[in-house]
Amino acid sequence: MKLTDYLKPEYIAIGLQADSKEDLLDRVLALADKNPHVLDKQKMRSAVLEREKIMSTGVGKNFAIPHGKTDAVDDIVLAFAVTAQPVDYASMDNEPVRLVLLLVSKESLVSQRLKLLSRASKVMNSEAARSALMNAKSAEEVVAIFNREEDRIGE
């Protein structure tokens, strides 16, 4: 199971404009809304925002991974954005965010969700991967970078 099994160009934005953490989350959720596996957009949004209240998903190194589990989706739903400008996200390292990977899954897909969260963390631990993603010019290039990095980290 790879991130790129779920992350498709139509769910990716490059140069996303966002004025705040809330605005950024709304815009990334709007990308995910395009996915046919989303059954209830508002319920999905609520699940992600409830998780965010527990602890910021701004994990550091300019990366955030907002996520949630809900029956508002019937599979795993991913969306990814590179922001045009750094966005204050109340991250663990107090640095702004430029890269956002949204992951929402059906409640029963616990092991798959955890595996994908782990894979995302491994990809984003690479400074080269983060830099390449921040400089990507297209959604297809983002998918290619994720493919390359997932091949590097293996199963």
Q: Indicate the domain borders of the chain.
A: 3-153
> What are φ and ψ of residue 98, in 5° steps?
-125, -20
Say what the pLDDT of residue 110 is: 83
Identify the pLDDT of residue 7: 94
Stated pTM of the model? 0.94
What is d(CA 23, CA 129) in angstroms, rounded to the nearest whole number? 25
pLDDT digits (tens, 9 = 90+) for 72-109: 999 999 999 999 999 999 899 999 999 999 999 998 98
The mean per-residue pLDDT over the stretch 44-72 comes to 93
Report the C-alpha gap between 112 and 95 in whole angstroms.
29
Would the CA dihedral through 127, 128, 134, 139 be positive or negative? negative
The CA–CA distances, whole Å, from 40 to 35, 45, 72, 140, 154 equal: 11, 9, 5, 27, 34
pLDDT at 154 over 90: no
Q: Check: CATH 3.40.50.300 for 3-153?
A: no
